[in-house]
Structure 1
């Protein structure tokens, strides 16, 4: 009987569909402990190798005067054969009677751990290879913790090279006890520990006569008893927004459904805003017929039944299964940066399509994989692992990795380099469920129409935007004075004024500026809802931030571009800020070291150059009077009520 037939005969009968998705297995271990040899043997035993492959490799080895190694099946690169180490990940398919597999052979050498992270990130289960003769090494522990970090719970340990210790039961039990104790110390319970000799094939596909004392499954038998991951379509809906496109009057929200399903008529909640709308249509590319539903893995566009502000990085979910949401994330991190990760450092955290600026606020535990010691610290060295708490400037929509890996895995970026990766260990209780389910808006008993009639004008937001020195504050304050003298309910929110109170905790980075505008926008609309005309004076340099404010209540928002050129603003320089920015005293200064995005279609443009302040004020007052005053009929109808 052939090795392949023997292997298939030994596999327990499991009824599965042959069209099932392959289970992804990552194979890890210390360099030279026999990972590639083990994988090569598995492929041979399951008949996955192309016909004549083994014979060809034997011939190559003979020509080079070197013994044949099963590792050469995997080591496809010439450099790898010459150096004798695996430097890249390889994905090879094979199948048993139970199911198909994709096996990931990940590098074990310390210098290639970044490649290993990439390989292990998508795995559902793992095989950790330990040399029976050398025992558990530092890299063995490091790889074991990495599997824990990535949230893998199905782990088979292959104690390899048992032939070098004469298939000693006592030596196997020593190595088993050591690796099990370590894995248990980090919260991992290995599913199986199997004694093997990959070179000869002992306990790879069938029980070996050389280990009569071992009663467990072979390596293939262990793999077949692993539970497949729950299909992504069975998980809660997670639809990260990739982009928003405007076609005609439609706004199409595009992205890839990472998990779950959505259909026309579903009510979606968008994190982090908590805004809700129903799916009006599902747009798919290349299909004439309109789709009524879509599931995990599909890239689609959707339109909503009402216009709410949605942007890249938002995550759509169904109303009763929203992701968690928090400023703080507790995560397990594998650090790959050249310099250490430190408390107080700032990085970019990429989670699905969202990018968050986060600070390291605590390093709760650093794992010394050499002596298993756990200790607190203020930094994490390269290739080390740690439990870290990050704090974002804005709420981060997420899941724990165990609940939903699609929204529980992230990477860290410094500059343009990926410097770390990790998983969210536990989801925070400060989540979107509390915001969207347990918060009930209390309606006012005085409606907008009644306020308008009483005030003699409508409420709204007049948003003045432009460069520093353009004249925004001067114009706003004079407009406030003149409207007040006419008996209007009016106030000004000025950039410098709110920085002393409401936004006193914010700096001037792009992220802090966005949060500054978000807060002011919410306050401005609250005043507008109370019937006041709110004139704001903010540089508000980014178009997307102003659009978010507009989206709170588009009918009440009026964007006014105070369009004064940079040269003129710098010539005026009323506060001396341009001079300080040019000398380097001020960072992130708009027009000098930070960009300004002028409005594309403002409701009003005030070109102040060559005009007096009074002329600009008069132009704005005429616009406000036209936009907010009530007609005689409206007033008469109102008082008649």
Structure 2
């Protein structure tokens, strides 16, 4: 079975945590003791029904305030697919948490309250999903039970969302009328919406095609570890792009030496080809002195080697970003020292406008910056390859991650 990573987003109190709880409850992905615990918590809070949101709200502050603060990851599976869910916060002050949860997602579920329709936070979260190059969006129009399962209201929300999304160019958008509280169209199709024939949320999650979302053209293999014995010299890592095959001619960066792939090894033995995101050991037909942080790339489609970059970053630290700031930049398996040479602009994620600024970036703000590197890195644009086009910035004194970025 393949794996689908998806994230949830939407306005505060749109029902994100309840939806995930409903998915896990109706697919029998929770244990009896978990159910008993949330039943007791629901009773102590005075909730009329079992509060399924408590399955994902893991922090004490979240349970007390009834909001999501941190990113909560949950796992479940059906006979057709495995899933990893990132339940992300809706508040604007937790934008960095949403970016973290969405950064590895194949699909985003944008929840919309059927009573309120498309609001500012709906647009903001959709825009962030598009920035992160999430190609599949499911718009779950929740709380349909509170608008009497109105087809007219559902169609109005659909038209409003499509009018907005045309500006940001998302390719695959699906609309599903649901009630997370009552379970309508979440796991099973609902009799309350006879006018809807697009399948339940789970059915759509099981069927969405994500194979073509990966970069299967540009062969990229960042080296994580050298595996060397008296009679074996291999390079361990994850295939981050392309389909690499035994016999392929490759180039090693930064040395630019060429060789051919002699074998591809796994825990289960040798294979003839590997593709993202497989972790393998590659051996070459020549003895090359490579190390962690180097990259093996297919010779017919090579990456760029650069010592300065522009990147769109989300600032995650309480101490703001300013021109001249020095950080450690981590990119694939390599780390280099980096200096911010310019803040090109700041992005208003509510209006999608680029704003000129001299004030740098503050926590939860997104903007484009220029970075000078102490030594060259081997990269693609984030648009081409999410794995080799992403980076993080680290404070060298505290070792805190201060920003996540997408190379332009």
Q: Which residue of 1 aligns with 2:400?
A: 417
The offset of 1:63, in angstroms, is 4.5
Distance 1:403 1:372 in 2: 22
Inter-CA distance 98–298: structure 2 relative to 1 (3 Å threshold): closer
The offset of 1:71, in angstroms, is 0.8
With structure 2 as the length reference, what TM-score do the two structures score?
0.82
Inter-CA distance 180–262: structure 2 relative to 1 (3 Å threshold): closer
Q: Which residue of 1 aligns with 2:177?
A: 195
* Unaligned stretches of 5+ residues in structure 1: 1-19, 426-641
The offset of 1:128, in angstroms, is 1.1
The offset of 1:246, in angstroms, is 7.1
Q: Is 2:134 the partner of 1:152?
A: yes
Q: Alignment partner for residue 367 of structure 2, among 386, 390, 397?
A: 386
Q: Which has the higher contact order (CA 8 A, sep 6+)?
A: 2
The offset of 1:283, in angstroms, is 7.7
Q: In the alignment, is the contact (CA less than 8 A) between 1:149 and 1:422 conserved in 2? A: no
Q: In the alignment, is the contact (CA less than 8 A) between 1:41 and 1:198 conserved in 2? A: yes
Q: Is 2:350 the partner of 1:370?
A: yes
Q: Alignment partner for residue 23 of structure 2, among 36, 42, 55?
A: 42
Q: In the alignment, is the contact (CA less than 8 A) between 1:160 and 1:197 conserved in 2? A: yes
The offset of 1:412, in angstroms, is 1.7
Distance 1:185 1:357 in 2: 37
Q: Is 2:238 the partner of 1:257?
A: yes
Inter-CA distance 347–176: structure 2 relative to 1 (3 Å threshold): farther
SS at match of 1:185: coil
Distance 1:342 1:181 in 2: 36
Q: Alignment partner for residue 382 of structure 2, among 401, 411, 414?
A: 401
Q: In the alignment, is the contact (CA less than 8 A) between 1:180 and 1:190 conserved in 2? A: no
Cα shift readout 1:315-359 (whole Å, capped 9, x = no counterpart): 111221322333443433222132433455444321111223444
Inter-CA distance 79–360: structure 2 relative to 1 (3 Å threshold): closer
The offset of 1:277, in angstroms, is 3.1
Q: Is 2:254 the partner of 1:272?
A: yes
Question: Which runs of structure 2 are paired with 1:87-126 in the superposition (5 Å)?
Answer: 87-96=69-78, 98-126=80-108
Distance 2:344 2:192 in 1: 46
The offset of 1:263, in angstroms, is 6.2
More strand by share: 2
In our comparison, the structure showing a higher alpha carbon Rg is 1
Distance 2:319 2:118 in 1: 28
Cα shift readout 1:212-237 (whole Å, capped 9, x = no counterpart): 55454432233234212359795643
Inter-CA distance 298–370: structure 2 relative to 1 (3 Å threshold): closer
Q: Which residue of 2 aligns with 1:224?
A: 206
Q: Which residue of 1 aligns with 2:68?
A: 86
Q: Is 2:148 the partner of 1:163?
A: no
C-alpha root-mean-square deviation of aligned residues, in Å? 3.5
Q: Alignment partner for residue 187 of structure 2, among 198, 202, 205?
A: 205
Cα shift readout 1:4-57 (whole Å, capped 9, x = no counterpart): xxxxxxxxxxxxxxxx22211211223321101111112233333335754553
Q: Is 2:114 the partner of 1:141?
A: no
With structure 1 as the length reference, what TM-score do the two structures score?
0.55
Distance 2:308 2:170 in 1: 25
Q: Is 2:168 the partner of 1:183?
A: no
Q: Is 2:329 the partner of 1:349?
A: yes
Cα shift readout 1:371-414 (whole Å, capped 9, x = no counterpart): 44332334333212234444435433112334432212221223
* Unaligned stretches of 5+ residues in structure 2: none
Q: Which residue of 2 aligns with 1:69?
A: 51
Distance 1:226 1:316 in 2: 31
Q: Which residue of 2 aligns with 1:458?
A: none
SS at match of 1:326: strand
Cα shift readout 1:254-276 (whole Å, capped 9, x = no counterpart): 43133356566553311233222
The count of aligned residue pairs is 401
Cα shift readout 1:155-208 (whole Å, capped 9, x = no counterpart): 111122233344444544454444434433333355112232211122323444
Distance 1:99 1:280 in 2: 34
Inter-CA distance 254–225: structure 2 relative to 1 (3 Å threshold): closer
More helix by share: 1
